[in-house]
Amino acid sequence: MERTLLLIKPDAVQRGLMGVIISRVEQRGLRMIGMKLMRVSRTLAETHYSIHQGKPFYDKLIGYITSAPVVAIAWQGNRAVAVVRQVLGATDPTAASPGTVRGDYGIDIGRNLTHGSDSIENGQAEVKLWFTADELLDWERIGEEWVFET
Ligand code: IDP
Ligand code: MG
């Protein structure tokens, strides 16, 4: 089953947007299988964002994600990666559509509130990077047959 990592970044936590962000994904129908409030270590930040190492915004990005608590959430369901990316909207909030988290609540790209895994492979890998096996719960959410056709 497809899995994806959602991060509610420090700006969203500080601005009191945890609940609305979780609600949007929860109401879409994905199953939450893990969630934690945590302070991100420099090591985890650098591993998670290793693909961006060397880019002009890299140092600021590591500073941003480690600056205050984040909420890490693992979601599972058909098309989970695409659904979360769609709920979050484009990376630059001024390019994100209204109705998306970034389009409704963000302005600057360096304060874009959230992270969502960008491929099925990265979804699996990022859930493994951020959660230990015993932090993930195997459970049935009732009514999933009314969200997923199969
Ligand atoms: P994504 O979060 O939509 O997948 P990526 O291109 O993977 O976007 O970039 C990772 C994060 O780096 C973004 O969410 C944003 O916080 C930050 N970022 C990306 N591009 C810029 C930039 O040009 N200036 C400042 N921060 C940036
Ligand atoms: Mg990305």
User: Is the distance from CB of 35 to CB of 5 less than 8 angstroms?
Assistant: no
What integer is the mean pLDDT of 99-108? 98
Q: Which ligand is nearest to the CA of 112?
A: 1
pLDDT tens digits for 18-49?
A: 999 999 999 999 999 999 999 999 999 999 99
Query: Can you give the residue ranges of every domain in the chain?
Result: 2-134
The proportion of the chain whose per-residue pLDDT surpasses 90, expressed as a percent, equals 99
* pLDDT above 90: residue 150: no
The proportion of the chain whose per-residue pLDDT surpasses 70, expressed as a percent, equals 100
Which pLDDT belongs to residue 47? 98
Pocket of ligand 1 (CB under 6 A): 52, 57, 61, 91, 109-110, 112, 115, 118
pLDDT tens digits for 74-97?
A: 999 999 999 999 999 999 999 999
115 is catalytic: yes
How far is residue 137's CA from residue 114's CA, in Å, rounded to a whole number? 23
Index of the ligand 1 atom closest to the CA of residue 49: 10
DSSP secondary structure string, the chain? --EEEEEE-HHHHHTT-HHHHHHHHHHHTPEEEEEEEEPPPHHHHHHHTGGGTTSTTHHHHHHHHTSS-EEEEEEESTTHHHHHHHHH--SSTTTSPTTSHHHHH--SGGG--EEE--SHHHHHHHHHHH--GGGS-----TTGGGT---
Residues 62, 88, 115, 131: which is the catalytic one? 115
Q: Does domain 2-134 have CATH number 3.20.20.80?
A: no
Of 47, 60, 61, the residue with max ligand 1 atoms within 8 A of its CB, to mutate for a pocket test, comes to: 61
Per the confidence metrics, is the pTM higher than 0.85? yes
Q: Which ligand is nearest to the CA of 122?
A: 2
**Average pLDDT of the chain, as a whole number:** 98
